């Protein structure tokens, strides 16, 4: 566990000093929101609540892809990735530290993007802020588990920027199914369905275990 905390601390300090990941993700997610705002026909905005959840998660997933790509790419400088690979103990704890750092950074961006989305489409997310935060947390956790694993897998490849979304997006189908359904329920009906939450919990558990165990073999050349 100390390895996890060390990685988490290192990634957050590094990001605090460089701010490159959060700013890139934030700008990208805001741009997506603005594009949706102008792309949707004027007449459809009244019925936006039905589709808002899907649009919001599209912005989240594409922004997260940028941050996840950088998660291990920053370890390539000075071959710091080898330092992680050389560390004793189970490498799953390294994965967990990376995934938690990604969760925090992506979560910050999601909060800001969600606020911008609510303003741009005049949707009152405040009344469901707490349960919505829970749903976003569950969805983002699954996203970060799969994304951190695939980020590590693709980091040493020449086409990592292309490879990560190709690997990640199909793996996110079940996460998005649960997250979009739960978010739509919250926006439209004020409460999330149990089935959607259950799906998210199961997928999060599966991705956590698979990624934790699979990470042991990912850092080897």
Partner 1 sequence: MSETALRARGVEKRFGAMRALRGVDLTVERGTIHAVLGPNGAGKTTLLRILAGLSHATAGSVEIDIDGENHEPSKARGAIGYVGHATLIHPELTARENLLFAAKLYRVDDAEARAQQLLEDEALGEVADVRAGSFSRGMSQRLSIARARIHDPILVLLDEPFTGLDRAAASRLAEHLERLRDEGRALVLITHDVEIAARLATTVSLLDRGEISEVVSGSAITVDRLDAGMLGDRPQPGAVA
- Does 23 help bind partner 1 (rule: CB under 8 A)? no
Binding residue (CB under 8 A) for partner 1 from 42, 86, 130, 159: 86
CA distance 136 to 110: 8
- Whose Cβ is closer to partner 1: residue 86's or residue 130's? 86
Tell me which residues in 62-81 interact with partner 1 (CB under 8 A). 77-80
173 binds partner 1 (CB under 8 A): no
How far, in Å, are 18, 107, 128 from residue 118 at the CA level?
29, 16, 12
Among 40, 58, 73, 87, binds partner 1 (CB under 8 A): 87
Q: Taking the C-alpha atoms of 112, 115, 120 and 121 in order, what is their torsion angle to the nearest 10 degrees?
A: 140
Q: Does 6 bind partner 1 (CB under 8 A)?
A: yes
Question: Under the criterion CB under 8 A, does residue 24 sit at the interface with partner 1?
Answer: no
Q: In the chain, which ranges are continuous DSSP H helix?
A: 2-18, 20-39, 48-73, 80-86, 92-121, 129-154, 160-171, 173-189, 194-214
Does 10 bind partner 1 (CB under 8 A)? Our answer is yes
Contacts with partner 1, residue ranges (CB under 8 A): 2-3, 5-6, 9-10, 13-14, 17-18, 77-80, 82-89, 220-221
């Amino acid at each position: 566990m100390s390895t996890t905390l060390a990685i988490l601390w290192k990634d957050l300090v590094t990001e605090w000093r460089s701010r490159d990941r959060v700013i890139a993700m934030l700008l990208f997610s805001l741009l997506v929101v603005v594009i949706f705002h102008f792309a949707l026909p004027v007449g459809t905005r009244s019925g936006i609540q039905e589709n808002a959840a899907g649009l919001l998660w599209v912005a989240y997933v594409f922004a997260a892809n940028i941050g996840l790509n950088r998660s291990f790419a920053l370890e390539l400088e000075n071959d710091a990735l080898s330092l992680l690979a050389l560390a004793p103990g189970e490498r799953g704890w390294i994965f967990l530290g990376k995934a938690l750092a990604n969760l925090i950074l992506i979560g910050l961006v999601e909060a800001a993007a969600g606020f911008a989305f609510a303003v741009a489409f005049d949707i009152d997310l405040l009344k469901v802020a707490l349960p919505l935060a829970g749903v976003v947390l569950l969805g983002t956790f699954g996203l970060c588990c799969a994304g951190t694993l695939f980020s590590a897998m693709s980091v040493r490849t020449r086409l990592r920027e292309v490879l990560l979304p190709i690997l990640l997006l199909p793996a996110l189908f079940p996460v998005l199914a649960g997250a979009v359904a739960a978010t739509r329920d919250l926006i439209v009906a004020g409460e999330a369905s149990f089935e959607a939450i259950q799906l998210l919990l199961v997928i999060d558990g599966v991705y956590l275990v698979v990624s934790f165990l699979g990470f042991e073999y990912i850092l080897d050349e």
